[in-house]
Amino acid sequence: MPADFGYINARVKGMKARLLPPGRLEELLSVPDLDAFLHALTSTPYGPELQEALSRYRGLRAVDEALARAFQKAARRVLSFADGKPRTLIQVLLMQWDVHNLRAVLRAKHAGHPPEAVEATLVPAAELSDVRLRELLQQPDVAAVVATLVTWGHPLGNALAEALPEYQASQDLLNLELALDRAYYHWALQASKGRGGDAARVLELVRTQVDFTNVKTAFKLQQLPDLSPEQRERFFLEGGVLVTREVFRNLADPKTAEVGIREMRARGIQPEGRTPAEVERWLEQEATRRMADLYLGDPLGVDVVIGYLTLLANEVRNLRLIARSKAMGIPRDLVRREMALV
């Protein structure tokens, strides 16, 4: 099997042609209700998955099922084009959705939310298929989720198991999420190492993710004024480039946050807003924009795959938002503000 990105990208560009054309999302946003949305979505490339989902589910559940299946099918098809180092690099990219999914499942179990409250946010792509994600959602608590991951031999399962006793003692989910991030970035940084521009590109993306995660965490820690500097610093993740330990230390402490913000902005990270939610939203949209723009990068490198997977994931997220707005009667202007348009 050819392993170079020239071959892979030729196949991926054909898949890119199936993404919705400019203006189609706006047309879908303009339909009057969920039934009209379902009818319109049937005439898009998501139609086959939606028809299959409608044979078993109704309404939003059918939309979520169809979109999840479509993304999973596309991600696995891209992976099937590759072997050797290109396959490893694509696996690193896909694993970020496992991290996203695990964080959503752990938060739901921690808060006692039912499976349907989080199912719409999940994006099966890497080790965790839609079937396995549903199995995790059926687990009774956080400990059972972690035990299931270990049983499956998931790459991040053992790290979560090691952090579980501390979570059970403190009921502080931030410690468990820290273990998840640390395990993923350690694995991703090791897997991304290698010679050549493709490995360097993926390594750069992972390091940027580390920086952005440190910024998100620091803004959350600002809301906990009683923590000592040592307690704050233990949340720092190694592996980034722009957010050093000193910048993180200043940014995470409400007493020195202004200094940290100036240092962060001087390094080119300039989020809008000041609340943790506002900063997290900006960072996520900025990461999406940067990765989507790579589709027009090196035509013989990993850039095309990064861009395509990002564009597809963004399209799926926006379609889910539109579907919910039609089911709940949310005004279009509010939905547009939540949509990430790249």
Angstrom distance (rounded) from CA 42 to CA 185: 38
Full domain range(s) for residue 326: 1-81+309-342
Looking at the domain assignment, is residue 250 inside a domain? no
Nearest C-alpha neighbor of 229 from the set 249, 245, 259: 249
Angstrom distance (rounded) from CA 236 to CA 318: 32
Instruction: Please give the helix or strand (H or E) that residue 154 lies within, else none.
Output: none
The answer for residues whose C-beta is within 8 angstroms of residue 110's C-beta and 6 or more apart is 142, 171, 173
Low-confidence ranges of the chain (pLDDT < 70): 1-3, 342
- Report how far apart the first and last C-alpha atoms of the chain are (Å, whole number): 33
What three-state secondary structure class fits 1?
coil
Angstrom distance (rounded) from CA 254 to CA 17: 48
pLDDT at residue number 1: 44
Tens digits of residue pLDDT in 184-240: 999 999 999 888 999 999 999 999 999 999 999 999 999 999 999 999 999 999 999
Angstrom distance (rounded) from CA 185 to CA 285: 20
Sign of CA dihedral 37, 39, 42, 48: positive
pLDDT at residue number 116: 84
Tens digits of residue pLDDT in 57-72: 999 999 999 999 999 9
Looking at the domain assignment, is residue 94 inside a domain? yes
* Alpha helix (H) residue ranges in 222-302: 229-233, 245-252, 257-266, 276-293
- Whether residue 32 is found in the same domain as residue 114: no
CATH number for the domain harbouring residue 59 = 1.10.132.50
CATH number for the domain harbouring residue 156 = 1.20.1690.10
Nearest C-alpha neighbor of 108 from the set 139, 83, 73, 129: 139
pTM exceeds 0.95 = no
